[in-house]
């Protein structure tokens, strides 16, 4: 048997109905009615296939197809079920329905596996409703910090704890039983970039997930009259900001791939046409696959920013509020996925992930691999998010034969 494009479309359309909106996109936020309906529907779907389906305390869902060897060793796959606000129909849920379709086809074609096969519908990854990310995967390994979420609220004033309780879930008190016996994990996901599409590849085998450093940087100069303050007497935060961006971007381009550097947000005071700006708060995001390079490059940029600010008589405060190390995928998993692609003559290449995924949490504890499919024009977190059905089908085939090698 094989998984057809029609199978993929039908299953995607079904899961996308939970949270669909009239823009063609979807909104399915953690602990909302749409989120709960999707999880319950997936549980029923898993059970109809003959899986044992169960929730943990916080709302992660696992469906397990029991193997024949009786050891309890389990090969896991899956991704997150939540979305961003008005997002697309592939991010996250592709990994869930892809895992389901792969396991269903393996069962029909080869019968029961030797090892257990499990598909996870992870409760949350995006942080779109509440300011907390990886709540689902962190709970799988009991590394969540409950103090971080006890007092947080959504933008419309709903408390995290109240929303969780309303859906019938609560804080996890002990080690998560869903992870019992999980020996290896593989996640299928859209690329959310344009490398595979630009290079004409249908499948990406992921070598690792980049490290990320994110900053809030505050500049304090002196607001003054735009007409009467001569240029040589100004302490203009925008001039400082412009020089920082120009010099930093030039250094990033000189460093080359895979380094990326982004200045994504700026707030200026007093933000009016006839006043020299006296205060600014801006962000910086830097990513690389090599931990040492990421640290040395950002340290150099930090020193540059201090120098530039001092030259203009402007005070600077640099707050690095995120410092996530790069996470490599397991070599054994990379080689198994590559072998599956080669044996099935799938059109693939090896690349890294420039975005964060649940696999970066999981890979710290068990051998993990990732498979990408192309994103048309690199668009994601947007109703226009799309992938050709043929590429989706190839990605699920890569997942299927990887699971076959691991479990059969």
pLDDT at residue 1 is higher than 70: no
274 is in an annotated binding site: yes
Distance in angstroms (rounded) separating the CA atoms of residues 402 and 408: 10
Q: Report the predicted TM-score, pTM, of the whole model to 2 decimal places.
A: 0.88
> Residue 381 annotated as binding?
yes
* 228-253 pLDDT tens trace: 999 999 999 999 999 999 999 999 99
- Going along 140-291, which residue ranges are E strands? 182-190, 203-209, 211-220, 224-225, 260-262, 266-269, 275-276, 279-288
Tell me whether residue 91 is annotated as binding. yes
Average per-residue pLDDT for the chain: 96
- Please check the confidence at residue 384 and state whether its pLDDT lies above 70: yes
37 to 42, 365, 390, 403: CA distances (angstroms): 9, 30, 29, 28
CATH class of 211-324: alpha beta
Q: Is 235 a known ligand-binding residue?
A: no
The per-residue pLDDT for 2 is 87
Residue 178 pLDDT class (50, 70, 90 cuts): very high
Q: How many CB atoms lie within 10 A of CB 45?
A: 21
For residue 189, say whether it is annotated as part of any ligand binding site.
yes
CA distance 223 to 233: 12
Instruction: Say if residue 288 carries a ligand binding annotation.
Output: no
Q: Domain spans of the chain?
A: 5-209+326-407, 211-324
> Is there a binding annotation on residue 382?
no
Please check the confidence at residue 327 and state whether its pLDDT lies above 80: yes
CATH superfamily of 5-209+326-407: Zn peptidases (3.40.630.10)
């Amino acid at each position: 048997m094989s998984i057809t494009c029609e199978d993929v479309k039908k299953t995607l359309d079904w899961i996308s109905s939970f949270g669909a909106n009239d823009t063609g996109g979807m909104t399915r936020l953690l602990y909302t009615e749409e989120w709960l309906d999707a999880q319950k529907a997936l549980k029923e779907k898993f059970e109809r296939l003959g899986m044992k389906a169960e929730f943990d305390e916080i709302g992660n869902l696992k469906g397990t197809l029991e193997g024949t060897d009786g050891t309890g060793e389990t090969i896991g796959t899956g991704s997150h079920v939540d979305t961003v606000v008005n997002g697309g129909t592939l991010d996250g849920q592709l990994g869930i329905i892809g895992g389901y379709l792969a396991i269903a086809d393996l069962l029909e074609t080869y019968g029961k596996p030797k090892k257990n096969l499990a598909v996870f519908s992870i409760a949350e990854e995006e942080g779109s409703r509440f300011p907390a990310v990886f709540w689902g995967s962190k709970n799988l390994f009991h590394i969540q910090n409950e103090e971080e979420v006890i007092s947080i609220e959504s933008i419309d004033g709903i408390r995290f704890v109240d929303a969780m309780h309303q859906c019938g879930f609560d804080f996890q008190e002990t080690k998560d039983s869903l992870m019992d016996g999980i020996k290896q994990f593989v996640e299928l996901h859209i690329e959310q970039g344009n490398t595979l599409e630009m290079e004409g590849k249908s499948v990406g085998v992921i070598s690792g997930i980049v490290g990320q450093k994110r900053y809030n940087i505050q500049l304090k100069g002196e607001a003054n009259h735009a007409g009467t303050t001569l240029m040589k007497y100004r302490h203009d935060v925008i001039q400082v900001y412009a020089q920082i961006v120009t010099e930093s971007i030039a250094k990033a381009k000189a460093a080359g791939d895979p380094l990326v550097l982004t200045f994504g947000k700026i707030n200026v005071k007093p933000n009016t046409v006839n006043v020299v700006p006296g205060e600014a708060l801006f962000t910086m995001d830097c990513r690389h696959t090599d931990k040492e390079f990421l640290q040395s490059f950002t340290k150099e940029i930090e020193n540059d920013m201090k120098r530039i600010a001092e030259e203009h008589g402007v005070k600077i405060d640099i707050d690095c509020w995120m410092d996530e190390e790069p996470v490599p995928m397991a070599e054994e998993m990379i080689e198994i996925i590559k072998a599956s692609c080669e044996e099935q003559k799938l059109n693939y290449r090896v690349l890294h992930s420039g975005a964060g995924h649940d696999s970066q949490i999981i890979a710290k504890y068990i051998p993990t691999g990732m498979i990408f499919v192309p994103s048309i024009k690199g668009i994601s977190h947007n109703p226009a998010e799309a992938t050709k059905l043929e590429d989706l089908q190839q990605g699920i085939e890569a997942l299927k034969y990887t699971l076959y090698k691991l479990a059969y």
